[in-house]
Structure 1
C-alpha cells in the first residue's frame, strides 16, 4: 500500500532563544528537519508533506533547496499537534494509503524503527504508536497497555501516582490508514487546560470506535526531541558518536575518533585513514585507501583512491582530486580538478583551476582567480612544474611539460614545453648597504630631535 508522510515543523521553539525557526538549527551540518526527511525518504513514500508555521517562508525555502519534491501546508494558528496534522487533510483527502506522522525536531528515528510500525500495521493493527522505555520518564506521556493493546496515553500532568511509575512512554510518532487518521482527528476536542487539539487523543478516539491500537518500541535516544540549545548540543554529540561507530565498522581507520567531526552525508570508503582533528562539512566523499592527515577541513569535495591530504589543508566545494594526488600543509583548494599524481605540497591557493596529471605546484603558488568582479579559470597541463611563489593571473593557461621560474607572475598563456620567467631583473649595488644604513640613521636622529 502507498504511504504518505506528514512531518510537523510549525513550532516556535521559544526555549531555543533564537530568531531561527527551531527545525532549521543544524545537526552535523544540516537543518535538523533534514535528518527526519532523510529517514522518511528511505520508505519511498508517495507523498511527503511538511506542516510549517513559525518562520514558514524560511523553512519552506531552505527545505526546497535541498529536497525539491516536498509539499507544504501552513498551520496559521498554533492549536496543537492534532490541529497541525488536520491541516494536511485537504491535500491528502484523495489519498487512499497509509500515513506516517513524524516530527521535524525529532531527528534520529531510524529506518529500522519505522519498519517496525509498518510491519505491525501489516499484521492488521488499525493504529500503531511508537513508544520507548525510559529510566527517567519525567514529563513524557505514559502508555497504558492492557492485554497487548494500547488503551490510552496519559500525559504526565494528568497521571496518577501509580501511572507515573510506568516507564513506557510516547514518542508522538504514529502510523495508520489515511482515512482512519482524519476520521479520528475529526472526533477529538480542545477541552483541556491549553485549549489545544492533541494528537495523542486519537488513541482514545480509536478505542471508542473499537479499532485496534498497539505500540512498538525503540531505544530512547532515537526519540530525542530538541527544544533547547543544550538538547541541540546533545543531539550533535549523539550524531557524531553514531557516525564514528558506523564509519569504523565500515572499515575506516579513525586514529582519534573523538576529535573527528562528520557531516550528515559524509561517505568514506574502506581502508581510508583519518587523522585527529579532521572536520567534514557537507558533501564530502572519500574513496578507499585515501589518507587525511590531522587538522584538515573538507567540504563539498571528492577525494579518490590513494590521495593524501594534509596536515592543515582546506578543501572547499567543487574540489575533485583524482587518484594518488598529494595536497600538503596550508594548502587551500576551491572549485578545482586535480588529476592523477599531481602534487600541491605547501602553502598554496588553487581556485577555479584544472591541473593535469603528474604536475608539481611549488610552495607559495597562488591562482589569482578573482578580479574584484568576476571569477576566472586557470588551466595547467600535465607534467608541468610551477616554481615556488608563482602567481597565475587568471584567465591563463599553462601547456604540458612547461615550467615557471620561482617568483614569476604569469599574465599570458605559456605554450607547451616553454619556461616562463616573469620577474624583475636583480641588480646588485656594491657598498650600498653601508650608505643606506647611515642615511636611515641620520633621518631617524632628525625625527627624534
Structure 2
C-alpha cells in the first residue's frame, strides 16, 4: 500500500450517529412533533443528541427529520447536528435509504431513536465495543423489561447465543414466541458496507406499507452476515414514549435522577418529589431547596443559598448565600452574593441584582441593575433602570420607562433616597446622594446631593367635611 493510499484509509471516518426524528407520534394525539415533546426541561431529541455527543468515536451526528422538519431543525439548530430530510415518512428502513448518501463514507453507523431520552453514553459505547468484537454486520441493543407488551421480540439462535435470527414485531408473534421477554430497543449498530448492500431488499409487505429497519436482521442473517445482540444493563434506559402518560413517566425519571445527583453532591432538597428541577440545572453544596420549588433551564445556584417554597427560577445565575423567599419568579437574571429576593418578587429578563441588595414584596424588575446594598423592599416597578450602591427605593416607586413607542433608561446614583409613591419619567438621571420627596413625579434630572419634590401644594379646608355631611342631611 502506498503512503497516499494509507493516508486516505486512515482518514475515513469510523462512525456516524443517525437519529430517527421524522415521525409524527400519532398516538400522542398532539400537533407537536414527537421528538419535540419535553422531558426534564428539554426536547426528547435534545437529550439523545447530547448523549450521542459524548461518544468518543462519533465523527458526525445526523438527525433524519420529516414531520414538521423546520420546527425540528430550529429546535436543535445550536447542537451542531446535521440534518437529512425524509420527505415521505415510509418507515425506519426508508429513513435509512434517505440517508444513504450521507452515511456511505463511514465504516459504521449507530442508529438511535429520537424519543429515547434515558439512553446512556456508556451503554452505547459498550454496544459499539461488542459490535466490533463480534465482527457483526448488525448489532441490536436489547432489553428485558418487566412487561414487554408492545415491543418487537428478539429471536436468538439459542438463549445463550449472541447471534440473532430475526426481530419479530408483536403482532406477528406466534403463541410460543409470546413468552420471549427480550425486546428490540430500536437502537442498532451497523457495518455500513453490508447495510447498504442489502438495504434495497427491504419489503413493505405489512399493514402500514412501510419499510422497517427491523427486517434488516432477518435479511442480513439470511445472507450469511452475522447479526448480534447486546442486552442493556437497565431496561429503563431504552424506554420510549408513545403516549402523554409515558412522557410524564420519563420526565419523572429524569427529574428524580437530577435531584439525586444534586443531593449526592451536597445539596439539601426537602421533598424532592414535589420539586421540578430540569436536567441541566446546577446547584452548589450546602444550598437548601424547599418543597414545591421549580429550577428550570440552565439555572446555576451557588453555595449556602436557600430557595423557599413556591419559587420559580428559570435560566438564572445566583451567587452564594442568596435568599429567595416564598413565591418569587426569576427569569434570565443574575443575583449576586448575599442578595435577598422576595417574598413574591418578580425578576424579569435582564435584571442584575448586586451583592447584598434587596428586592422585596411585590417588586418587579426588568432590565434593572441594582448596585451593592441597594434596596427596593415594597411594591415597586423598576424597568430599564440602573440603581447605584446603597440607594433606597421607597414603596410604590415606578420608573416610567415606556413612552408608547420606545423604552428609556432611568439612572439613579449611589446613596440616594427615592421616597414612596414617586414616579420617575425616563429618560432621567438622579445624582449621587439625592433625595426625592415622597409622592413626587420627577420629569427632569436631579443633581447629586439635591432634593427634588414634584407634587402639588396641599390645600386644607377646615370644616369642609362636616359642612358636606350637613348638606346631605338637609337634602334627605
Q: Settle same-fold status: TM greater than 0.5.
A: yes
**Which position in structure 2 is the counterpart of 1:209?**
224
Aligned length: 440
- Which one of the candidate residues 357, 360, 364 is aligned to 1:342? 357
Indicate whether 1:228 and 2:243 are aligned: yes
**Which position in structure 1 is the counterpart of 2:186?**
172
In 2, Cα distance between equivalents of 1:294 and 1:440: 53
Indicate whether 1:120 and 2:135 are aligned: no
Whether the 8 Å CA contact 1:363–1:389 is kept in 2: the answer is no
**Which position in structure 1 is the counterpart of 2:258?**
243
- Which one of the candidate residues 63, 70, 79 is aligned to 1:57? 70
Indicate whether 1:22 and 2:34 are aligned: yes
Whether the 8 Å CA contact 1:125–1:214 is kept in 2: the answer is no
- Which one of the candidate residues 448, 461, 464 is aligned to 1:432? 464
- Which one of the candidate residues 110, 113, 118 is aligned to 1:100? 110
Indicate whether 1:278 and 2:293 are aligned: yes
Q: CA deviation at 1:149?
A: 2.1
TM-score (norm 1): 0.89
Aligned-residue Cα RMSD (Å) equals: 2.5
Moved more, 52-61 or 383-392: 383-392
- Which one of the candidate residues 272, 276, 282 is aligned to 1:267? 282
Moved more, 381-390 or 32-41: 381-390
**Which position in structure 1 is the counterpart of 2:337?**
323
User: Against the structure 1 CA distance between its residues 28 and 342, is the aligned structure 2 distance closer, same or farther, given a 3 Å change threshold?
Assistant: same
SS of the equivalent of 1:46 reads strand
In 2, Cα distance between equivalents of 1:166 and 1:236: 28
Indicate whether 1:36 and 2:48 are aligned: yes
Whether the 8 Å CA contact 1:358–1:383 is kept in 2: the answer is no
In 2, Cα distance between equivalents of 1:170 and 1:87: 23
**Which position in structure 2 is the counterpart of 1:375?**
407
In 2, Cα distance between equivalents of 1:291 and 1:177: 52
**Which position in structure 2 is the counterpart of 1:288?**
303
Q: CA deviation at 1:200?
A: 1.0
Q: CA deviation at 1:439?
A: 6.0
Per-residue deviation, residues 27-80 of structure 1 (Å, max 9, x unmatched): 23322221212222222632221111221222222222x43x222222122221
Q: CA deviation at 1:150?
A: 2.5
Q: CA deviation at 1:202?
A: 1.5
Per-residue deviation, residues 375-395 of structure 1 (Å, max 9, x unmatched): 334444554554444444444
TM-score (norm 2): 0.85
User: Against the structure 1 CA distance between its residues 262 and 154, is the aligned structure 2 distance closer, same or farther, given a 3 Å change threshold?
Assistant: same
- Which one of the candidate residues 95, 101, 109 is aligned to 1:90? 101
User: Against the structure 1 CA distance between its residues 374 and 298, is the aligned structure 2 distance closer, same or farther, given a 3 Å change threshold?
Assistant: farther
In 1, Cα distance between equivalents of 2:357 and 2:240: 47
**Which position in structure 2 is the counterpart of 1:76?**
87
Q: CA deviation at 1:436?
A: 4.4
User: Against the structure 1 CA distance between its residues 331 and 53, is the aligned structure 2 distance closer, same or farther, given a 3 Å change threshold?
Assistant: same
SS of the equivalent of 2:76 reads helix
**Which position in structure 1 is the counterpart of 2:317?**
302
Whether the 8 Å CA contact 1:347–1:365 is kept in 2: the answer is yes
Q: CA deviation at 1:292?
A: 0.9
In 1, Cα distance between equivalents of 2:128 and 2:443: 64
In 1, Cα distance between equivalents of 2:437 and 2:309: 32
Give unpaired runs (5+ residues) of structure 1. none
Per-residue deviation, residues 52-109 of structure 1 (Å, max 9, x unmatched): 1221222222222x43x22222212222111112211122222x24311111222221
In 2, Cα distance between equivalents of 1:176 and 1:437: 94
Q: CA deviation at 1:305?
A: 0.9
Moved more, 305-314 or 225-234: 225-234
Indicate whether 1:256 and 2:267 are aligned: no
Q: CA deviation at 1:373?
A: 3.2
In 2, Cα distance between equivalents of 1:408 and 1:399: 16
Whether the 8 Å CA contact 2:165–2:227 is kept in 1: the answer is no
Indicate whether 1:190 and 2:204 are aligned: yes
In 2, Cα distance between equivalents of 1:49 and 1:344: 46
In 2, Cα distance between equivalents of 1:366 and 1:261: 28
Give unpaired runs (5+ residues) of structure 2. 1-12, 383-399
SS of the equivalent of 1:270 reads coil
Whether the 8 Å CA contact 1:287–1:304 is kept in 2: the answer is yes
Moved more, 299-308 or 355-364: 355-364
In 2, Cα distance between equivalents of 1:262 and 1:161: 44
